[in-house]
Structure 1
């Protein structure tokens, strides 16, 4: 049985807000709150794959410090890179 997109979004939102560091929580959780509802199944799968990666790796890719691996060069990564995940941006 496949889960509905609504259930998947809830699971991804929880995972995004429980990363292990406050910085990662703000980046991924803030993005999830702002964009999960507009993402379709393919984009949700890409976001889920990013949540499987190490926080420091994802952070490096998002801020442009490190090159993004081919597997993560997706629309979701572009959206993350454009997202203002600072505390001011989340207000």
Structure 2
């Protein structure tokens, strides 16, 4: 049985909050709270793919210490935009 959108949003929200590093918890919890419900299914797929990456890599991409891989660029840019408006 495939999960409902609501179940998927709750699952991704939980994954955003329990990353393993406090920095990523804070950044992704904020992003999740502000944007997750408004994302399209394709954008949720992209976010879920980003969550599958290593926290240290994601942090370096968001903090712009290293460029993000092209497949994650739009999502990382959106997270940076939300973080900058905080």
TM-score when normalising by structure 2: 0.90
Deviation of 1:85 (Å): 6.8
Deviation of 1:8 (Å): 0.6
Deviation of 1:60 (Å): 0.8
Alignment of 1:48-87 (within 5 A): 48-74=48-74, 76-84=75-83
More helix by share: 2
Number of residues of Structure 1 aligned to a counterpart in Structure 2: 86
Q: Are the structure 2 counterparts of residues 40 and 9 from structure 1 closer, same or farther at C-alpha, using a change threshold of 3 Å?
A: same
- Name structure 1 gaps, 5 residues minimum: none
Which consecutive aligned stretches of 4+ in structure 1 deviate over 2 angstroms post-superposition?
none
In the alignment, the residues of structure 2 paired with residue 85 and residue 19 of structure 1 have an alpha-carbon distance, to the nearest angstrom, of 20
In the alignment, the residues of structure 1 paired with residue 19 and residue 4 of structure 2 have an alpha-carbon distance, to the nearest angstrom, of 23
Give the conservation status (yes or no) of the 8 Å contact 1:62–1:77. yes
- Name structure 2 gaps, 5 residues minimum: none
